[in-house]
Structure 1
Amino acid sequence: MTENPQGTQGTPRFLTVAEVADLMRVSRMTVYRMVHAGQLPAIRMGRSFRVPRKVVDDMIAQGLAEWEQSHAVGEEG
């Protein structure tokens, strides 16, 4: 059995727009808008877009870190 280049078996390296929307809990149209605005990098595969899984995971992690930081600051005061 071979590993994919990211080192995780069974995890797709690229996601469809629908998969990104599910992970981020937004509509597919929101994902398309993010792609067209340059907020979310994507490659075109025929007539479809594919988004690198790592980019989506990093965006979610960054959003969570910002949320945690803003709530930690609010709790101290």
Structure 2
Amino acid sequence: MTTAVKPTVSRALFTVKDAADYLSLGRSTIYELMAAGALPYVKVGRARRVRRTDLDAFAAALPQQTA
């Protein structure tokens, strides 16, 4: 028996909830980062969306903690 495998679709835009899940942060933190200008976003109608490239750039720019 074969199992169908769903192709992985790389999304370009994330909802605030999905962006929070992607970065392992809370939704309110994502809204705060967007309001402070630390996390760029686009508006599609009334909805805010965050680009995957902006999420990756934000995570890469975080300072590394040393023990």
| Structure 2 unaligned spans of 5+ | 1-7
Q: Stretches of 4+ moved more than 4 A in 1? A: none
Shift of 1:62: 2.7
Q: Which residue number corresponds to residue 23 of structure 2?
A: 24
Instruction: Select the structure with the greater relative contact order (CA < 8 A; seq sep ≥ 6).
Output: 2
Q: Which residue number corresponds to residue 39 of structure 1?
A: 38
Residue type of the partner of 1:59?
Answer: F
> TM-score, with normalisation over the residues of structure 1?
0.66
Q: Which residue number corresponds to residue 10 of structure 1?
A: 9
Determine whether 1:52 maps to 2:51: yes
Structure 1 CA distance for aligned equivalents of residues 32 and 61 of structure 2: 20
Deviations 1:41-73 (A, max 9, x none): 10111221011101101222232xx31xx53xx
> TM-score, with normalisation over the residues of structure 2?
0.74
Identity %: 30
Q: Is the 8 A contact 2:19 2:30 kept in 1?
A: yes
> What is the aligned residue count?
60
Residue aligned with 1:56, SS: helix
Q: Is the 8 A contact 2:39 2:58 kept in 1?
A: no
| Structure 1 unaligned spans of 5+ | 1-8
Shift of 1:24: 1.4
